């Protein structure tokens, strides 16, 4: 096994690591790092985000750049290899001298980048929904925290669909495990008994769902309305939904609400068996707003493909990038400390017709939308929060973290301040 | 005078002729209300459509649930629209008249949610109760088990008298019995329990549990408990059968993935880390074939099988001729080189097809399930793959046993130098054997494209499993691979409900490690002299 490991790391290091930097066209530019995997398992999701960033930067340059300078994208490929994320981030800051980094998808890659970003005091934007329980001085979380996705989705199922029995199904890693822990605590606080909750974990890329779907079916035939809350990761979803369809579990019997299935994932599969199943996001491509139509048109033109779709993490980058631009303009410099101070309270329009703001805990405000999958792979919004929801870094439903608050404004300036002991642990991740 | 007489007459004639079109107009007005964004209002409109009992009601509801109903943005008229070459052809829902061709921007689809979908489903079911096809009627009766009420029972009762299909009649009497479980009359409840003793419908079990716990009559409680015992023991029997089926089906997938490896690794002794990528190429071939023949999805699978065999087989021959041949007898280097090849193949596919998963359609005849009863249903795609796996296996055994290529392959694998002395072109045989194994991997890819994602990482998910099956079954023995695959599949599926999918996989690996300690050459070790040379 050791041999295999070293072989794989040598091969990866030698064969796949390439760094491309676009040539400088102005005498002095502001450099922006893009740290998304372009090869390996995560390339499926992250390549799109790299293209989104390139589009946003190109667009900003057409508007005259920022602080009178052009922006320059520095793209590196961490190749879905978590330690390589840290190495590449270090290279971006030390060697290329970037002023901000937009990147990562998985939580583990973010955790790998964290110490580097904090040590070198840079600015990092993370665009994906995640499990929360973190607030760093240097990281800005533009994706959803659990209270901006999972909890509202469960509320919708409970109140609007009258769900009484819950299957929490997830892939076996940190995001589903933490989210399900929060959800379980939340459900119990609402009076759901233990026997009405079934928790199930499967390995990455699980493809044989027969037993689990059959279990869900018998769990759901106990006379109470049942739903599946799915934190199943990307790839494993296709065989899961196929099996549901084949075993005759329809969305009107047992609806599945997913937190990792978006337009991009749906474009890779035949959506017919999925019609009526749900997903909770902060943005859908189908949102009928002018600003969104404009974004979609721009994206299709940039990528030169009329069939490409937009999704939630792309919107997160859109918001994050615009916030960074505004903060830089407000601070008058790209220096990290100044930007970190200036960005708190900055507001920019999001793509669903509202205005998002950066909170002192480095999370943003977003609307929560619940959509039903349609046969064309798009979502029909069936429910949305009346206003925007502020991201909560520390969950109110976990015993260890309900006393913690994050506030990066002075004089507190702490990512995990304990209101009971009135202490800041000083550890940021 | 005459004038006064004529006036009301004209009016009556005019009214009667326009009454028909007036109703249609009214129906269209109701339909147009579907363009409202509010789901609560939409559901009211759907109710109105159902109540209107218009001859077109069934058609409208079906189209609505299939997402074919749109409204024209300019005048809010609700129409049927079918996609044709990036444009939409709109048809009047009432008169079937073609209204013209629209672009996507001029139309807006009428989205529905699960509440509406459910409403449509139940109302379609009650319309279907009088369908001429007995299967449709049976489905309709079964669909209403869950929301039985007095109205439905009142519709069913007269239908049951005239019903001549035994199955439908049976289903109807089950429905009435389910309703009678809530009857006020003790006698009727006990009779209903007697009638439902054989039923495996989940709703029956739920209702019986409720009776057992809450009924105020002791006899009813006792009867309910007895009936529940019967039902539970039957359910557990069928559940065991189901798990066995799951195991066999999982096993057949393992065998398909491993059988090509059983040839390249088992017969030739080459550790081919790119085996998974050859499977992936087969799956992508299916995708390409479907792109080429979009109107014949059912047929495309049959075309894809030989195509995938050829594509993967050719790539296999190329790998053998280009790389493996030069590393003969150096297993570690072969392992490294083929691992490199696997990375190259993945990245090539990523560059050509994009890193996104591709969607391979499942033909109509492969989706859905064969329903034996409401507990046991065997999914068609799994059934076909089990059969397919057995056919591939049989074909491969025949090739190795009955053809001259098979004879030469066996000769070279048993004693290379002796075979060469007898005039066998061992180089050529090596290439053909590797091509055969790779081609079979391609065929496995066709099968897997129906089960899982078609993406650049498809192969990686199966490479470990494939080696596991081959090593467990005994290197160089096809029968070992067959027994090993089914064995591991069944063990895995029987463990999964107990320990969960993650731990089941871990336990299987531990089991194999221990097993290999005890029997290093697997289930069916090679015997005789060839065992030592390899």
Neighbouring C-beta atoms of residue B483, cutoff 10 Å: 19
Neighbouring C-beta atoms of residue B244, cutoff 10 Å: 13
Residues A357-410 pLDDT 10s = 999 999 999 999 999 998 888 998 989 988 899 999 999 998 888 889 899 988
pLDDT at A125: 97
Q: Tell me, yes or no, whether A151 and A141 share the same domain.
A: no
Buried b / exposed e across A232-243, counting CB within 10 Å, b at 16+?
bbbbbbbbbbbb
Residues of A in contact with B459 (CB under 8 A): none
- CA separation, residue B206 to residues A219, B210, B460 (Å): 12, 6, 44
pLDDT at A331: 95
Neighbouring C-beta atoms of residue B17, cutoff 10 Å: 10
The parent domain of residue A61 ranges over 2-145+308-366
Q: What is the DSSP letter of A91?
A: I
Residue A295 belongs to a domain? no
Residue of A nearest to B246 (CA): A210
Q: Tell me, yes or no, whether A156 and A107 share the same domain.
A: no
Q: Residue holding tokens 């349609």?
A: A374
Residue B405 belongs to a domain? yes
CB contact under 8 A, B358 and A268: yes
Q: Tell me, yes or no, whether A136 and A153 share the same domain.
A: no
State the complex-level ipTM. 0.77
pLDDT at A1: 44
Q: Tell me, yes or no, whether B355 and B428 share the same domain.
A: yes
- Dihedral over alpha carbons B91, A293, A384, A360 (to 10 degrees): 170
Residue A396 belongs to a domain? no
Q: Tell me, yes or no, whether B51 and B87 share the same domain.
A: yes
Q: Residue holding tokens 């195991």?
A: B247
Residue A383 near residue A156 (C-beta atoms within 8 A): yes
Q: Tell me, yes or no, whether A327 and A241 share the same domain.
A: no
Neighbouring C-beta atoms of residue B458, cutoff 10 Å: 27
Q: Tell me, yes or no, whether A139 and A158 share the same domain.
A: no
Q: Tell whether B253 is within 8 A of chain A (Cβ).
A: yes
Residue A250 belongs to a domain? yes
Residue B95 near residue B80 (C-beta atoms within 8 A): no
User: How far apart, in whole angstroms, are the C-alpha atoms of residue B486 and residue B251?
Assistant: 4
Residue B230 belongs to a domain? no
pLDDT at A165: 94
Residues of A in contact with B356 (CB under 8 A): 44, 264, 267-268
Residues of B in contact with A374 (CB under 8 A): 67, 109, 111
User: How far apart, in whole angstroms, are the C-alpha atoms of residue B76 and residue B71?
Assistant: 6
Q: Tell me, yes or no, whether A133 and A174 share the same domain.
A: no
Residues of B in contact with A260 (CB under 8 A): none
Q: Tell me, yes or no, whether B97 and B150 share the same domain.
A: no
Find all residues with CB under 8 Å of B399, minimum gap 6, and list them. B405, B406, B436
Residue B513 belongs to a domain? no
Among A7, A74, A85, A389, which residue's Cα sits nearest to residue B336? Answer: A7
Q: Tell me, yes or no, whether A141 and A164 share the same domain.
A: no
Choosing from B160, B195, B216, the residue where a domain stops is B216
Q: Tell me, yes or no, whether A118 and A155 share the same domain.
A: no
The parent domain of residue B168 ranges over 130-216
pLDDT at A10: 46
Q: Pick from A210, A242, A375: which is nearest to B67 by CB?
A: A375
CB contact under 8 A, B343 and A380: no
- CA separation, residue A272 to residues B362, B370, B457 (Å): 10, 19, 24
Q: What is the DSSP letter of A92?
A: I
User: How far apart, in whole angstroms, are the C-alpha atoms of residue B261 and residue B24?
Assistant: 66
Q: What is the Cα gyration radius of chain A?
A: 21
Q: Tell me, yes or no, whether B301 and B360 share the same domain.
A: yes
Q: Residue holding tokens 């969950």?
A: A395
Residue A337, token pair as written in the block: 């400390």
Kindly give the parts of chain A with pLDDT less than 70.
1-27, 234, 426-429
The answer to whether the peptide bond before residue A411 is cis (omega within 30 degrees of 0) is: yes
Burial of B223 (0-12, 13-18, 19+ CB in 10 A): buried
Residue B492 belongs to a domain? no
Residue of A nearest to B381 (CA): A246
Residue A285 near residue A263 (C-beta atoms within 8 A): yes
Work out the minimum CA distance from B368 to partner chain A, whole angstroms.
4
Interface of B with A in 378-407 (CB under 8 A): 379-382
Q: Tell me, yes or no, whether B68 and B200 share the same domain.
A: no
Q: How many CA atoms lie within 13 A of A15 on its CB side?
A: 19
Q: Tell me, yes or no, whether B334 and B441 share the same domain.
A: yes
Q: Pick from B67, B500, B502: which is nearest to A374 by CB?
A: B67
Interface of B with A in 152-181 (CB under 8 A): none
pLDDT at A311: 93
pLDDT at A426: 61
Residue A73 near residue A61 (C-beta atoms within 8 A): no
Q: Tell me, yes or no, whether A44 and A158 share the same domain.
A: no
Q: Tell me, yes or no, whether B141 and B277 share the same domain.
A: no
Q: Tell me, yes or no, whether A237 and A205 share the same domain.
A: yes
Helix (H) or strand (E) holding B482: helix B478-499
Q: Tell me, yes or no, whether A115 and A169 share the same domain.
A: no
Residue A425 belongs to a domain? no
Q: Tell me, yes or no, whether A96 and A228 share the same domain.
A: no
Q: Tell whether B368 is within 8 A of chain A (Cβ).
A: yes
Our count of domains for chain B comes to 3
Q: Tell me, yes or no, whether B107 and B63 share the same domain.
A: yes
Residue A54 belongs to a domain? yes
Q: Pick from B336, B381, B456: which is nearest to A7 by CB?
A: B336
Residue B417 belongs to a domain? yes
Among B320, B313, B306, which residue's Cα sits nearest to residue B278? Answer: B313
Residue A398 belongs to a domain? no
- Averaged over successive runs of 10 residues, the pLDDT of chain B (534 residues) comes to 53 51 77 84 87 84 85 86 82 85 82 82 81 83 79 82 85 87 86 86 85 85 90 91 94 93 84 94 95 89 95 96 90 92 92 83 85 85 94 94 90 85 90 94 94 87 89 86 94 90 90 91 71 46
Q: Tell me, yes or no, whether B63 and B104 share the same domain.
A: yes
User: How far apart, in whole angstroms, are the C-alpha atoms of residue B45 and residue B30?
Assistant: 7
Residues of A in contact with B243 (CB under 8 A): 211
Residue A75, token pair as written in the block: 């793209």
Residue B483, token pair as written in the block: 């027994």
CB contact under 8 A, A207 and B347: no
Q: Tell me, yes or no, whether B205 and B344 share the same domain.
A: no
What DSSP assignment string belongs to B369-429?
A: EEESSSS-EEEHHHHHHHHHHHHHHHHHHHHHHHSHHHHHHHHHHH-HHHHHHTT--HHHH
Our count of domains for chain A comes to 2
Residue A349 belongs to a domain? yes
What DSSP assignment string belongs to A109-140?
A: HHHHHHHHHHHTT--EEE-S--------TTEE
Work out the minimum CA distance from A165 to partner chain B, whole angstroms.
14
- CA separation, residue A256 to residues A9, A202, A276, A348 (Å): 38, 16, 9, 33
Q: Tell me, yes or no, whether B288 and B212 share the same domain.
A: no
- List, in sequence order, every residue forming a beta bridge with A239; answer none if it has no partner: none
Residue B223 near residue B190 (C-beta atoms within 8 A): yes
Residue B504 belongs to a domain? no
User: How far apart, in whole angstroms, are the C-alpha atoms of residue B259 and residue B396?
Assistant: 9
Residue B275 belongs to a domain? yes
- CA separation, residue B305 to residues A215, B169, B443 (Å): 33, 44, 6
Neighbouring C-beta atoms of residue B451, cutoff 10 Å: 22
> Among B350, B452, B488, which would you mutate to test the A interface (most chain A Cβ atoms within 10 Å of its Cβ)?
B452
Strand, helix or coil for residue A345: coil
Burial of B309 (0-12, 13-18, 19+ CB in 10 A): buried
Choosing from B445, B461, B477, the residue where a domain stops is B461
- Supply the CATH number for residue A54's domain: 3.40.50.2300
Q: Residue holding tokens 């973010």?
A: A110
Find all residues with CB under 8 Å of B367, minimum gap 6, and list them. A245, A246, A273, B380, B381
Work out the minimum CA distance from B14 to partner chain A, whole angstroms.
45
Q: Tell me, yes or no, whether B347 and B395 share the same domain.
A: yes
pLDDT at B533: 46
User: How far apart, in whole angstroms, are the C-alpha atoms of residue A200 and residue A205?
Assistant: 15
CB contact under 8 A, B382 and A215: no
Helix (H) or strand (E) holding B178: helix B166-180
Residue B523 belongs to a domain? no
Interface of B with A in 403-432 (CB under 8 A): none
Among B42, B521, A116, A113, which residue's Cα sits nearest to residue A126? Answer: A113
Q: Tell whether B296 is within 8 A of chain A (Cβ).
A: no
Residue A427 belongs to a domain? no
Residue B492, token pair as written in the block: 């895995």
User: How far apart, in whole angstroms, are the C-alpha atoms of residue B436 and residue B409?
Assistant: 11
Find all residues with CB under 8 Å of B272, minimum gap 6, and list them. B261, B264, B265, B319, B324, B334, B338, B434, B437
Neighbouring C-beta atoms of residue B517, cutoff 10 Å: 8
Residues of A in contact with B463 (CB under 8 A): none
Residue B163 near residue B172 (C-beta atoms within 8 A): yes
């Amino acid at each position: 096994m050791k041999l295999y490991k070293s072989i794989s790391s040598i091969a990866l290091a030698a064969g796949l690591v390439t760094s491309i930097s676009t040539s400088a066209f102005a005498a002095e530019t502001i450099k922006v790092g893009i740290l998304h995997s372009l090869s390996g398992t995560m390339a499926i999701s992250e390549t799109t985000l790299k293209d989104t960033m390139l589009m946003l930067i190109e667009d900003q340059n057409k508007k005259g750049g920022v602080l009178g300078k052009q922006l320059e994208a520095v793209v590196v490929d961490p190749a879905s290899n978590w330690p390589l994320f840290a190495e590449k981030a270090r290279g971006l800051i030390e060697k290329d001298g970037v002023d901000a980094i937009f990147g990562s998808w998985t939580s583990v890659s973010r955790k790998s980048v964290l110490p580097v970003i904090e040590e070198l005091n840079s600015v990092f934007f993370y665009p994906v929904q995640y499990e929360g329980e973190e607030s760093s001085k240097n990281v800005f979380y533009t994706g959803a925290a659990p209270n901006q996705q999972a909890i509202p989705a469960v509320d919708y199922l409970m109140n609007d669909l009258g769900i009484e029995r819950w299957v929490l199904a997830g892939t076996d890693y940190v995001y589903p495990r933490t989210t399900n822990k929060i959800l379980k605590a939340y459900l119990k606080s609402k009076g759901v008994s233990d026997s009405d909750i079934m928790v199930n974990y499967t390995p990455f890329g699980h493809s044989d769902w027969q037993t689990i779907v059959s279990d869900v079916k018998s769990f759901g035939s106990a006379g109470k309305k049942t739903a599946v809350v799915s934190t199943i990761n990307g790839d494993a979803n296709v065989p899961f939904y196929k099996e549901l369809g084949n075993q005759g579990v329809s969305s009107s019997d047992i609806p599945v609400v997913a937190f990792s299935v978006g337009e991009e994932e749906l474009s890779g599969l035949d959506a017919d068996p999925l019609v009526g199943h749900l997903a909770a996001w902060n943005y859908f491509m189908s949102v009928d707003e002018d600003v969104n139509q404009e974004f979609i048109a721009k994206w299709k033109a940039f990528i030169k493909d009329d069939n490409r779709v937009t999704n939630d993490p792309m919107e997160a980058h859109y918001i994050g990038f615009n916030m960074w631009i505004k903060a830089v303009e407000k601070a008058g410099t790209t220096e990290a400390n100044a930007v970190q101070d200036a960005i708190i309270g900055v507001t920019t329009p999001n793509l669903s017709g509202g205005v998002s703001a950066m909170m002192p805990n480095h999370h943003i405000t977003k609307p929560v939308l619940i959509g039903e999958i349609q046969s064309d792979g798009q979502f029909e919004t069936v429910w949305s929060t009346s206003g925007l929801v502020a991201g909560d870094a520390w969950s109110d439903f976990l015993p260890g973290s309900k006393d913690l608050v994050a506030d990066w404004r002075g004089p507190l300036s702490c990512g995990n301040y304990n209101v009971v002991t009135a202490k800041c642990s000083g550890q940021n991740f | 005078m005459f004038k006064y007489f004529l006036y009301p007459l004209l009016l009556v004639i005019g009214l009667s002729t326009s009454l028909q079109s007036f109703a249609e107009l009214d129906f269209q007005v109701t339909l147009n209300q579907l363009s409202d964004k509010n789901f609560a209002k939409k559901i009211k409109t759907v109710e109105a459509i159902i109540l209107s009992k218009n001859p077109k009601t069934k058609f409208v509801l079906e189209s609505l649930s299939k997402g074919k109903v749109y409204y024209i943005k300019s005048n809010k008229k609700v129409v049927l629209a079918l996609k044709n070459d990036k444009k939409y052809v709109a048809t009047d829902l009432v008169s079937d008249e073609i209204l013209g061709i629209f672009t996507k921007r001029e139309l807006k689809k009428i989205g529905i949610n699960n509440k509406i979908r459910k409403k449509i489903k139940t109302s379609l079911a009650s319309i279907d109760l009088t369908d001429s096809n007995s299967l449709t009627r049976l489905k309709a009766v079964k669909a209403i088990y869950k929301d039985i009420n007095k109205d439905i029972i009142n519709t069913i009762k007269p239908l049951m008298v005239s019903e001549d299909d035994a199955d439908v009649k049976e289903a109807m009497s089950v429905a009435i019995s389910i309703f009678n479980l809530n009857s006020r009359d003790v006698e009727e409840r006990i009779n209903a329990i007697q009638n439902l003793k054989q039923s495996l419908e989940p709703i029956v079990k739920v209702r019986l549990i409720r009776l057992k716990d809450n009924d105020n009559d002791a006899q009813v409680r006792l009867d309910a408990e007895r009936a529940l015992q019967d039902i539970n023991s039957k359910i557990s029997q069928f559940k065991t059968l189901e798990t066995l089926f799951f195991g066999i089906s999982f096993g057949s997938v393992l065998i398909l993935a491993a059988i090509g490896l059983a040839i390249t690794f088992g017969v030739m002794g080459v550790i081919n880390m790119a085996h998974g990528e050859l499977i992936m190429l087969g799956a992508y071939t299916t995708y390409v074939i479907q792109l080429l023949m979009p109107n014949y999805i059912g047929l495309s699978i049959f075309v894809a099988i030989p195509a995938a065999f050829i594509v993967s087989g050719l790539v296999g021959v190329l790998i053998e001729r280009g790389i493996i041949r030069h590393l003969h007898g150096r297993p570690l280097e072969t392992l490294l080189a083929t691992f490199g090849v696997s990375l190259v193949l993945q990245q090539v596919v990523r560059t050509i097809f994009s890193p996104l998963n591709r969607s391979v359609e499942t033909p109509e005849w492969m989706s859905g399930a064969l329903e034996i009863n409401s507990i046991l249903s065997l999914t068609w795609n799994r059934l076909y793959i089990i059969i397919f796996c057995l056919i591939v296996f049989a074909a491969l055994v025949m090739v190795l046993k009955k053809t001259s290529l098979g004879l030469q392959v066996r000769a070279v694998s048993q004693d290379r130098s002796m075979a060469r002395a007898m005039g066998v072109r061992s180089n050529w045989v090596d290439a053909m054997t590797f091509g055969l194994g790779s081609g079979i991997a391609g065929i496995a890819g066709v099968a897997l494209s129906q089960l899982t994602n078609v993406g650049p990482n498809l192969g990686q998910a199966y490479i470990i499993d494939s080696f596991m099956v081959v090593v467990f079954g005994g290197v160089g023995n096809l029968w070992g691979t067959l027994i090993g695959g089914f064995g591991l599949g069944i063990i895995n599926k029987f463990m999964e409900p107990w320990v969960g999918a993650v731990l089941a996989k871990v336990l299987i690996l531990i089991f194999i490690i221990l097993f290999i300690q005890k029997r290093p050459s697997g289930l069916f070790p090679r015997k005789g002299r060839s065992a030592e040379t390899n």
